[in-house]
Amino acid sequence: IEVAEFDLVVFGASGDLAHRKLIPALYHRCADGQVPEGARIICSARRDYSDDDYRQWAREALQEHVSDLEDESLEHFLSRLHYVKIDVGGTDGWSDLKTILDERPDVVRAFYLAVGPDLFGTICQGIGNAGLVTDKTRVVIEKPIGKDGASAKALNDTVGAVFKEEQIFRIDHYLGKETVQNLMALRFANALFEPLWNAAHIDHVQITVAESLGVGGRAGYYDTAGALRDMVQNHILQLLCLVAMEPPESMNADSVRDEKLKVLKALSPITEANADKLTVRGQYRAGASAGGAVPGYLEELGRDDSTTETFVALKAEIANWRWAGVPFYLRTGKRLAQRVSEIAVQFRPIPHSIFDAEAGHISANRLVIRLQPDEGVQMKVMIKDPGPGGMRLREVPLDMSFAEAFKIRNPDAYERLIMDVIRGNQTLFMRRDEVDAAWAWIDPILDAWKASKDTPRSYTAGTWGPSASIALVERDGRTWAEDG
Ligand code: BG6
């Protein structure tokens, strides 16, 4: 889809996010011809770079993170980058930026804040004070949006003092993942699922976001967050919303976000009274991963007194007509056995079997939406085992692997999301009330953990987390879908 000309300003342009994600995403969009010739990418940071210095930095970022770099596209892309040095806390640089932007006051103007949240306020105020906000201006911010409801409110107030809600794009990069958007296609572009998509036919839902890496160099940030804030408050709750929401009236941003908000509000509270039954926290100790021996979390952190969780499993329930009594088991963690993110929708067993014992066990149907790696959708169904040997049943996957079906590069989430910002489409971005509602569910869990005498259970790196997480589902007569 064509986009209009724009000026994109990236703050924090020499940082980690720009290096790993933004510059590569912009390169791909340019190489695919989606960035109009008149568009300007203005990169800003505190370093004393010239345009050429920054282009060199970007070249290295691309060489590291893009496997199919093409020389011609690379040179063309680099020539489109401009650098402006701004000391965001001071006055230096803002007027230079203003001079550049004022050349074209009528084009879409997007400010991407690829910086830590402690700078969001300063930069927004700087943008406001420099008079850079036009009707066509947008601002993009990333998680963490607060560390609890109160701090999220303060942060949203600060950003909201300069920008209107329609101008604020809060990124949850999970919403930009191809398979996550496919969840909406699957549910709402097929007649097959919707009649079955409720408590009468679905036994439970599992959402797993397992990572095999540890916290590595991010231990400093991570220790102030933990798995619940880092992954559940945002990514996993967003996935849960897309699975559980009512059909929105349209794909219009507010229709979709209204429905997601209702799900968040319907989550049954987890508090001190039930947290020990419904939540499991873990922290990895030294163990092994595919590459060999790996250190434990405390060693990586360089302290031995942290009780930050690197794993969490939860049993959530949505108290509404569609989902009453259907558990949503959620889990995520670092240094688990495998990197795999998937949503498994487990249907109820058949009401009555007409087959005799020799036919074997009849497994209930399961729909698995694999987000990464090996993106795809799988439906587990029963068939007759081929051959003349009588009626023996077997479970097989009806498989839809995206890599095989579409032989195209799977675009990174940021590619989609940045272009949506330019297009002004907020469907895949979190509205302020969603962030608040997610925290309203998370805060009591954090409080309950704080009040509890328990600390996270230790698990060996390279396993599926503490055994209590397995017990959490086994107590209900169920098992995790992917336990190796
Ligand atoms: C980030 C978290 O939001 O998501 C990280 O802060 C996590 O801790 C990452 O590793 C996972 O993203 P992805 O796209 O690699 O699954």
Model's pTM, two decimal places?
A: 0.95
Q: At residue 305, what is the residue type?
A: D
Å from CA of 318 to ligand 1 middle: 25
The atom of ligand 1 lying closest to the CA of 177 is 14
260 is in an annotated binding site: no
Token pair in block for residue 336: 């688990």
C-alpha separations of 447 from 36, 162, 199, 226 in Å: 49, 32, 30, 14
Residue 270 confidence (pLDDT) above 80: yes
303 is in an annotated binding site: no
Token pair in block for residue 377: 């959708």
Average pLDDT over residues 8-22: 95
For ligand 1, pick from 211, 339, 372 the residue to mutate: most ligand atoms within 8 Å of CB: 211
Average pLDDT over residues 86-103: 92
In angstroms, how far is CA 416 from the centroid of its own chain? 13
Average pLDDT over residues 193-219: 95
Angle in degrees, CA 401, 406, 409, rounded to 5 = 105
For ligand 1, pick from 235, 297, 370, 372 the residue to mutate: most ligand atoms within 8 Å of CB: 235
87 is in an annotated binding site: yes
The atom of ligand 1 lying closest to the CA of 209 is 16
Q: Who's near 123: CB < 8 A, 6+ residues apart? A: 11, 88, 111, 113, 115
Å from CA of 249 to ligand 1 middle: 31
For ligand 1, atom 10, the nearest C-alpha belongs to 211
Å from CA of 462 to ligand 1 middle: 18
Q: Which tens digits make up the pLDDT trace of 418-469? A: 999 999 999 999 999 999 999 999 999 999 999 999 999 999 999 999 999 9
The kind and range of the H/E element at 10 are strand 6-11
- C-alpha 34/C-alpha 37 separation (Å) is 9
46 is in an annotated binding site: yes
Average pLDDT over residues 154-182: 95
Instruction: Give the per-residue pLDDT at 218.
Output: 86
What is the β-pairing status of strands 202-210 and 328-333? Answer: parallel
The residue that leads in pLDDT, 239 or 374, is 239
Instruction: Give the per-residue pLDDT at 408.
Output: 79
Dihedral class, residue 360 (left if φ above 0, else alpha if ψ from -120 to 50, else beta): left
Reported confidence tier of residue 484, pLDDT bands at 50, 70, 90: very low
For ligand 1, atom 6, the nearest C-alpha belongs to 230
Instruction: Give the per-residue pLDDT at 483.
Output: 47
Measured from the CB, is residue 211 less than 6 Å from ligand 1? yes
Catalytic positions, written as ranges? 235
Å from CA of 173 to ligand 1 middle: 9
Instruction: Give the per-residue pLDDT at 481.
Output: 86
Measured from the CB, is residue 342 less than 6 Å from ligand 1? no
The atom of ligand 1 lying closest to the CA of 174 is 14
The kind and range of the H/E element at 473 are helix 467-474
Residue 319 confidence (pLDDT) above 80: yes
Q: Which residues on neighbouring strands pair with residue 311, listed in sequence order?
A: 282, 333
The atom of ligand 1 lying closest to the CA of 143 is 3
Percent of the chain with pLDDT strictly greater than 90: 88
Measured from the CB, is residue 230 less than 6 Å from ligand 1? yes
Å from CA of 370 to ligand 1 middle: 16
Token pair in block for residue 71: 């020389």
Residue 237 confidence (pLDDT) above 60: yes
What is the β-pairing status of strands 81-85 and 366-372? Answer: unpaired
For ligand 1, pick from 173, 222, 339, 342 the residue to mutate: most ligand atoms within 8 Å of CB: 173
Instruction: Give the per-residue pLDDT at 1.
Output: 60
Question: What interhelical angle do 149-160 and 432-451 show, nearest 10?
Answer: 150
334 is in an annotated binding site: yes
Reported confidence tier of residue 406, pLDDT bands at 50, 70, 90: confident
- Give the residue among 375, 23, 396, 7 at the shortest CA–CA distance from 181: 375
Reported confidence tier of residue 199, pLDDT bands at 50, 70, 90: very high
Instruction: Give the per-residue pLDDT at 394.
Output: 94
Å from CA of 174 to ligand 1 middle: 9
Token pair in block for residue 284: 């990895």
Whether residue 106 contacts residue 6, with contact meaning beta carbons closer than 8 Å, is answered with: no
Ranges 13-22, 87-96, 250-259, 309-318: which has the least confidence? 87-96
C-alpha separations of 229 from 108, 216, 311, 407, 458 in Å: 33, 18, 11, 36, 19
Q: Mean pLDDT, the chain, as a whole number?
A: 94
Average pLDDT over residues 319-341: 97
Å from CA of 289 to ligand 1 middle: 18
Q: Which single residue is written with the structure tokens 């990197």?
A: 339
Residue 76 confidence (pLDDT) above 80: yes
Average pLDDT over residues 4-30: 95
380 is in an annotated binding site: no
Buried b (16+ CB within 10 A) or exposed e, 139-148: bbbbbbbbbe
Rounded to two decimals, the ipTM of the complex is 0.98
10 is in an annotated binding site: no
The atom of ligand 1 lying closest to the CA of 341 is 16
Give the start-end residues of each E strand in 405-444. Answer: 429-430
Give the start-end residues of each E strand in 179-326. Answer: 202-210, 279-285, 287-289, 292-294, 311-316
